[in-house]
Amino acid sequence: MVCHGESNRDPDGSAVANLLSSVKQDQEWDQYLLSQVKQYILNANLEAADLLADRIRNPIVRINGFAGMMEEHQLRENLLAVKVLRARVGMERLRSRILRQGQR
């Protein structure tokens, strides 16, 4: 038995994929990810915080995540990790400038 409504379904799932894609770019989603990064930092799980920060798409929000990790590494006197994060912040700043110029 075939229902007439089934012809309106999205057989390849592209509607779901489009929705997920738009959520990834959403500022609120990035802010949620940042809050989770901060929670990982509070729980002293810097590796998980780092991995999750990489999933934040907005460069400014991502830099905020890096800042929290830098602060924790500074407290632990892990200077190499601080230098690496500074370099990543520099790359994100450049990426942000490039994105802004592309929007003009």
For residues 39 and 49, give the distance between their C-alpha atoms in angstroms, rounded to a whole number: 8
C-alpha torsion sign, points 15, 13, 99, 73 = positive
Annotated domain spans of the chain: 13-103
pLDDT of residue 20: 63
- The H or E element that residue 89 is part of is helix 79-103
- Split at pLDDT 50, 70, 90, the class of 37 is very high
Residue 21, pLDDT > 50, answer yes
What value does the mean pLDDT of the chain take?
A: 84
Q: What is the pLDDT of residues 43-74, one digit of tens each?
A: 999 999 999 999 998 888 999 999 999 999 99
For residues 27 and 69, give the distance between their C-alpha atoms in angstroms, rounded to a whole number: 21
Residue 4, pLDDT > 90, answer no
Residue 7, pLDDT > 50, answer no
For residues 59 and 68, give the distance between their C-alpha atoms in angstroms, rounded to a whole number: 14
- Helix, strand, coil % over all residues of the chain, rounded to 5: 80, 0, 20
